[in-house]
């Protein structure tokens, strides 16, 4: 059986992935808080964990992998955003969830096995809080319930920091009811007119971290294999999830492997709402084919930061324009194992993409089987699954000149290296597009037929 390696945030090591049970793989990834249109930073975990889901499906079989991605539909941010936009919370959550689903389709992501919503799990959250209070891991004060961080000795293990370092390094909510500044809220009263539910501690609503503990357990069990999300979720969100779940469920481990993707940056600045550097996926979808965005998001290793720029988009467009010339509909289920090597190694997508480039060159040289192999390998990471005619319609605005110049450069490189088969294949590729090239002594020119 193929073996996958994962860099585990919890141990800070690359480890062989050993599932709890080979026919019951569980992966939980924190989903969106539906308060505003998802942006390109939100798109990265979607695409990264989608490829990882495809890989797990390939190794363990589609029916043996459960992928859970939640929707946070009650939260301070949603309440604030609904007031700002002057719409109801329910309306806002529904609209943004709808937009999010369109974005997932646009990015060609498979549907997760389950997509539970926080508001559908309030009673289970109340149950978990009661359990934590009963066992002295949490306390009530003035209709608020807090988790007592000092009651959990492993707090800070995921971030690899001591409590005092955590406290110094981040903005912690201040409250006069907390016994310790690191304690975090499990339940709090709602303000007038804000959504609220009955509980033993009065009408109110849950703290954000609780929902993932509850839904993780409901769909995957008290212990499961993989938990994923963006780097910014390590502390406090994931640290708090671990504390809640391990104390409530009396287990010595919650998720065995923790995977975190890096940020998407603009001009080397972390993308955040406050810096105004937001590109919504919806805005991108009006201008760029989703395949371009998908490939661009996979061009860096998932743990590394990804610099989002016009240049990246244009270069990715050129690559796909080229690749689509070898498009063919194929049955992608029987992919040769050797192709997956780089993905098995902690989802090394840049290495996989360079393999796609060489498979493309092979397929240009002509044999039917190499063309199939190239298409299957593209399909595996969710590329080239749509008809190339649609692609061409979408790319009418792409500059043909640039494309031809690029290809001529590639051909000259091949000739220099003595790879005349590839050079010939590129000539034919251009011929099929109605372009004739001519070599003179020191340069290559081209014209339309
Ligand atoms: Zn979460």
Residues of the chain under the 70 pLDDT cut: 267-278, 393-400
Q: Using CA atoms, how far apart are residues 38 and 103, in angstroms rounded to an integer?
A: 8
Q: Between the CA of residue 18 and those of 23, 25, 269, 341, what are the distances in Å?
A: 12, 10, 36, 17
- Give the bridge partners for 257, in sequence order: 226
Q: By the 8 A CB rule, do 262 and 303 touch?
A: yes
- Give the bridge partners for 67, in sequence order: 27
Q: How much distance in Å is there from the Cα of 28 to the middle of ligand 1?
A: 8
**Which pLDDT does position 276 carry in this prediction?**
55
Q: By the 8 A CB rule, do 264 and 308 touch?
A: yes
Q: How much distance in Å is there from the Cα of 73 to the middle of ligand 1?
A: 12
Instruction: Enter the pTM of the model.
Output: 0.89
Q: Using CA atoms, how far apart are residues 223 and 254, in angstroms rounded to an integer?
A: 5
Q: Using CA atoms, how far apart are residues 70 and 30, in angstroms rounded to an integer?
A: 6
Q: How much distance in Å is there from the Cα of 67 to the middle of ligand 1?
A: 14
Tokens of 18: 């050993």
**Which pLDDT does position 397 carry in this prediction?**
46
What residues flank ion ligand 1 with Cβ within 5 A?
A: 30, 212
Q: How much distance in Å is there from the Cα of 70 to the middle of ligand 1?
A: 7
Tokens of 185: 């809220």
DSSP per residue, 293-355: HHHHHTSS-TTS-EE--HHHHHHHHHHHHHHGGG-----TTS--GGGGHHHHBT--HHHHHHH
Query: Length of the chain, please?
Result: 449
Q: By the 8 A CB rule, do 78 and 93 touch?
A: yes
Q: Using CA atoms, how far apart are residues 316 and 13, in angstroms rounded to an integer?
A: 32
Q: How much distance in Å is there from the Cα of 178 to the middle of ligand 1?
A: 23
Nearest to 342 by CA among 302, 397, 312, 309: 302
**Which pLDDT does position 171 carry in this prediction?**
72
Q: How much distance in Å is there from the Cα of 261 to the middle of ligand 1?
A: 14
Q: Using CA atoms, how far apart are residues 163 and 288, in angstroms rounded to an integer?
A: 45
Q: Using CA atoms, how far apart are residues 10 and 214, in angstroms rounded to an integer?
A: 21
**Which pLDDT does position 182 carry in this prediction?**
93
């Amino acid at each position: 059986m193929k073996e996958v390696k994962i860099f585990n945030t919890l141990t800070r090591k690359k480890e062989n992935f050993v599932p709890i049970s080979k026919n019951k793989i569980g992966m939980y990834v924190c989903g969106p808080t539906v308060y505003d249109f998802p942006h390109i930073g939100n798109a990265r975990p979607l695409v990264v964990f989608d490829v990882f889901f495809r890989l797990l499906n390939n190794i363990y079989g589609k029916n043996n992998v459960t992928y859970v991605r939640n929707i946070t539909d009650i939260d301070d941010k949603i309440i604030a955003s609904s007031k700002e936009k002057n719409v109801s919370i329910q309306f806002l959550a529904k609209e943004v969830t709808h937009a999010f689903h369109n974005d997932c389709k646009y990015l060609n992501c498979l549907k997760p096995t389950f997509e539970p919503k926080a508001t559908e799990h309030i009673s289970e959250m109340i149950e978990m809080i009661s359990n934590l209070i009963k066992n002295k891991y949490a306390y009530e004060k003035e209709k608020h319930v807090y988790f007592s961080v000092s009651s959990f000795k492993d707090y800070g293990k995921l971030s690899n920091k001591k409590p005092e370092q955590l406290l110094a390094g981040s903005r912690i909510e201040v409250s006069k009811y907390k016994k310790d500044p690191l304690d975090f809220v499990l339940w709090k009263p709602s303000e007038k007119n804000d959504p609220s539910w009955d509980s033993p501690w009065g009408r109110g609503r849950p703290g954000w971290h609780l929902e993932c503990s509850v839904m993780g357990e409901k769909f995957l069990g008290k212990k499961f294999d993989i938990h994923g999300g963006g780097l910014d979720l390590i502390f406090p969100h994931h640290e708090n999830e671990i504390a809640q779940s391990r104390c409530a469920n009396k287990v010595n481990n919650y998720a065995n492997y923790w995977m975190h993707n890096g940020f998407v940056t603009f001009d080397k600045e972390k993308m955040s709402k406050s810096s105004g550097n937001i590109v919504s996926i919806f805005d991108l979808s009006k201008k760029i084919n989703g395949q371009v965005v998908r490939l661009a998001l996979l061009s860096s290793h998932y743990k590394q930061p990804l610099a989002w720029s016009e240049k990246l988009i244009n270069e990715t467009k050129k690559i796909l324009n080229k690749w689509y010339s070898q498009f063919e509909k194929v049955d992608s289920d029987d992919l040769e194992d050797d192709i997956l090597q780089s993905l098995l190694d902690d989802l090394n997508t840049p290495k996989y993409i360079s393999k796609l480039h060489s498979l493309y060159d092979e397929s240009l040289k002509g044999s039917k089987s190499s063309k199939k192999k190239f298409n299957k390998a593209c399909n595996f990471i969710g590329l080239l699954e749509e008809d190339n005619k649609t692609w061409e319609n979408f790319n009418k605005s792409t500059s043909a000149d640039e494309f031809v110049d690029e290809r001529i450069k590639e051909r000259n490189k091949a000739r220099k290296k003595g790879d005349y088969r590839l050079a010939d294949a590129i000539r034919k590729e251009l011929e099929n597009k109605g372009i004739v090239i001519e070599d003179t002594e020191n340069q290559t020119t081209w014209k339309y037929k």
